[in-house]
Amino acid sequence: MFIVISGPSGAGKTPLLYRIVEVYPNIKKVQSYTTRRVRRREIGGTYIYMTRNQFEEKIKENFFLEYNKVHKDQEYYGTGLNSYQKVIKEGCVAIKDIDVDSYKNIKANSNIDIVGIYVTVKNRNILFDRLRERGETEKTINLRLFDRVDYENSQSGFYDYVVYTDKFEKACDEVEKIIDAEFKKRGIDVKKNDVDKVKKPMF
């Protein structure tokens, strides 16, 4: 089983993913790679950073399960194939945030058992506020949001679930219920850690 989370920048994909990994001991994150710059306050281990040349060499080596150029800045993002295979071999459920186009491509062209969760917000101003909070420039915010949000939201119908993250804790509870139900469908044991849900998520 491969849990894929998608959504516009600032929707809370990364903090939601890390909350899930904290809660479920048998869910593990698949490694992400990118050519974009490191953000202020970014959660450690979110990405492995590469130059464009390094990334393109890895493409030639068939290193990635999926990859794509995302946003108008055309930075690469990708999923390590070996990292995905390692999680599955350990008998765990894989989880990863992936852009909408790569998600549709994997869903259509692989036999991977994917559960797609699309996360977004009802109040679009929240996205802008979250990106400013994490130190993005107005230029970057415009690149990531103005055209991209409408496109990404229009693709939400390809996903199994849509979750709104205007209220983060409520969204976390909803995603836990989704995962519990999907685990039970597949006969996977629902094991949970007791985690601190008070700390503020780092969007």
Residues designated as active site: 39, 134, 144
Q: Residue 29 has which token pair?
A: 């994150």
Q: Residue 141 has which token pair?
A: 């915010």
Residue bearing tokens 């999680």? 87
Q: Which residues pair with 27 in a beta bridge?
A: 93
Q: Under a CB-based contact definition with an 8 Å cutoff, are residues 101 and 32 in contact?
A: no
H-assigned helices in 8-114: 13-23, 52-60, 81-89, 100-109
Beta strands in 1-158 (DSSP E): 2-6, 27-29, 32-34, 48-49, 64-70, 75-80, 93-97, 114-120
Cα distance from N-terminal residue to C-terminal residue, the chain: 26
